[in-house]
Structure 1
Amino acid sequence: MIQGLYEAHLPVKNLETSMAFYSKLGLKLAWRDEDTAFYWIEEGLSWLGLWEGSEYETPYHPSLRHIAFRVAYDDLKRSLDWLASIEVEAVPFGSRSTVQPFVRPNQGNASVYFNDPDGNSLELICYIEVPDELRHITDKLSLNEWEKLSGVFS
């Protein structure tokens, strides 16, 4: 099921300082917004997320307690059955009420979440091909919704 690391996260005090450091290490910037930057570890396969903010000094910050594992799309479709077979319970992501895998078209990925015994957030995630016509969608879609919508552009 798990093919490799998709992403890891670190909290940072100053995003600009940290960006300069990770660039100096030879990592290539993949994406950035106001308080977050992602650098490729293996381009197109795995990245490191840097998160600036006051949360840096609190005992809990999601970036300290989250790892995403890369899986194939077909495996993600079967992920809830696989998790149940190993007695691991999926959990909703953010404000979602369902544990069903979902797609983020604007990010080009799909995922499902669960926790380890210590409450660390874990994720199974895969890359998906997103037609340019659908890249603007910021809503999270179920796999069924995604397959119907993307099938129109296949």
Structure 2
Amino acid sequence: MIKGIFETHLNVTDLERSHHFYEQIIGLQHAYGQKDRGNSFYWIGGEGNAMFGLWQKDPSEVRRQHFAFQVSLENMKQAVTYLEDKGIKTRNFLDDDIGELYVFGWMPAVSVYFTDPDGHSLEFISMLPDKAKPELGMVPWSEWEKIHGRVKGDSG
């Protein structure tokens, strides 16, 4: 019955600041907003595919949350540069400061993490075209590509 997640919402402390971040920095398409009600909505993946909502709340009502945006593998290769060029600090899942993204072998998918102005944990993630290898656990993207006989492009 369930085909996917259509909509999710996030509480923020400053709607204008978050609107700027998600529309101008991250690049989401603004769909609708009601400043008097303290909300703003964005399309993800094009109009009518999925929706993301922001709601301005008192700081005591804003708790750190996590979610991931799906991006294409081609865009994933440029994700770190894209974010850092916009002044956003990135990290990998292990936050180990080695400067390389990791692959979750059980999926398999590669991702990069960053935060929004309220400290919410955000992620860009891309599924890889390979067969899952859960026995590998988490491995650096370059190692995953070597295992699969490919030379990986710049992952940041």
Identify the TM-score tier after normalising by the shorter chain.
0.5 to 0.7
Q: Give distance in 2, aligned partners of 1:121 and 1:99.
A: 18
Residue aligning to 2:109: 109
Alignment gaps of 5+ in structure 2: 7-60, 151-156
CA distance 1:131–1:92, shift in 2 (3 Å): closer
Residue aligning to 1:141: 139
Q: Give distance in 2, aligned partners of 1:85 and 1:97.
A: 18
Q: Give distance in 1, aligned partners of 2:131 and 2:2.
A: 27
Matches within 5 A, 1:1-154: 26-27=1-2, 40-41=4-5, 65-94=65-94, 96-131=96-131, 134-138=133-137, 140-151=138-149
Q: Give distance in 2, aligned partners of 1:79 and 1:96.
A: 18
Q: How far apart are 1:120 and its partner, in Å?
A: 0.4
Residue aligning to 2:15: none
Q: Give distance in 2, aligned partners of 1:84 and 1:75.
A: 14
Moved over 6 A (4+): none
Q: Give distance in 2, aligned partners of 1:78 and 1:93.
A: 17
Q: How far apart are 1:99 and its partner, in Å?
A: 4.7
The share of aligned pairs that are identical, in percent, is: 28
Which TM-score applies when normalising by structure 1?
0.52
CA distance 1:71–1:136, shift in 2 (3 Å): same
Q: Give distance in 2, aligned partners of 1:111 and 1:95.
A: 12
Q: Give distance in 1, aligned partners of 2:82 and 2:110.
A: 16
Residue deviations 1:4-52 (CA, integer Å, cap 9, x gap):
xxxxxxxxxxxxxxxxxxxxxx326xxxxxxxxxxx438xxxxxxxxxx
Q: Which amino acid aligns with 1:107?
A: M
Alignment gaps of 5+ in structure 1: 1-25, 29-39, 43-58
Q: Give distance in 2, aligned partners of 1:141 and 1:60.
A: 33
Which TM-score applies when normalising by structure 2?
0.52
How many residues align? The count is: 98
Q: Give distance in 1, aligned partners of 2:99 and 2:120.
A: 16
Q: Which amino acid aligns with 2:69?
A: F
Which SS does the other structure have where 2:122 is aligned?
A: strand
